[in-house]
Structure 1
Amino acid sequence: MNAVPHNPNEAVLHLADLARQLDRVTNELNEADVTAVHAREAAKLAEAHAFLCAQGSVDARKAQATVATAEARLAAEVADATVRGLRNSVRTLQTRIDVGRTYGATLRSEIALAGSGVHGA
């Protein structure tokens, strides 16, 4: 529902839709957070295994482990980015809900004022 609500009922329906969206995104965020934890731990474990299997000096082994685990580390970073994006979406939806509540209250006040005989408000 992208249209601006024109009456209190539409405002309530719009807020209900936003609340459902917030619930869905919050669930996605929770799942993505768990996925990110698993990805970070998988990357750490892969790097440790690669380091233990590498040959040469400590610095050479670290470099070999870093190169060998680039994909796992990238997957962990992408998972973290997904979590950040979903957190931003949650904040955006919360703000939209706050704006919708304010708009709904303003709309109800205007309707009440229109029926009171007071003009120019």
Structure 2
Amino acid sequence: MSAPTTPNAVVHHLAELARQLDAVTAELNEADVAAVNAKEAAKLAEAQAFLRAEGSVDARKAMAVNATHEVRLAAEVAEALVRGLQRTSRTLQTRIDVGRTFSATVRSEIALSGSGAYGS
């Protein structure tokens, strides 16, 4: 998207970015809880698999890790989703900062043009 060129366009652009940031924040909160639940489910599954396994401690550990691959992978993917949403949130915050800079530039240009909209 090109830079907004009027004060009204800047306001609309910033409002849209703020709505996007709110949505990402809500999604991030939900994903964070889901990641915690997935991680704990993986720990529990591994412990239960270890207790069911037979043989030496090392063999039981290996069997438990093997038996819980899917649930551990799901937990890792859930954590990756959280990290991705955090990056998206930071990107939106940066875009809002850039929008504020556009706003200041537009106001300065209007003031300099002698339109009287912001003084001059």
TM-score by length of 2: 0.94
1:61 Cα deviation after fit: 0.1
1:84 Cα deviation after fit: 0.1
CA distance in 1, matches of 2:104, 2:23: 25
Establish whether residue 4 from structure 1 lines up as the match of residue 3 from structure 2: yes
CA distance in 2, matches of 1:54, 1:46: 12
Alignment match, 1:38: 37
Task: Find runs of 4+ consecutive structure 1 residues off by over 6 angstroms.
Answer: none
Alignment match, 2:99: 100
Alignment match, 1:79: 78
Unpaired runs of 5+ residues, structure 2, are 116-120
CA distance in 2, matches of 1:113, 1:28: 43
Unpaired runs of 5+ residues, structure 1, are 117-121
User: Residue type matched to 1:41 in 2?
Assistant: E
**Aligned partner of residue 48 in structure 1, secondary structure:** helix
CA distance in 2, matches of 1:10, 1:104: 9
User: Residue type matched to 2:75 in 1?
Assistant: A
Number of corresponding residues: 115
User: Residue type matched to 1:19 in 2?
Assistant: A
Alignment match, 1:119: none
The answer as to whether partners of 2:3 and 2:102 remain within 8 angstroms in 1 is no
Residues 22-64 of structure 1 show CA distances to partners (whole Å, capped at 9, x for unaligned) of 0000000000000000000000000000000001000000000
Establish whether residue 20 from structure 1 lines up as the match of residue 23 from structure 2: no
TM-score by length of 1: 0.93
CA distance in 2, matches of 1:107, 1:74: 49
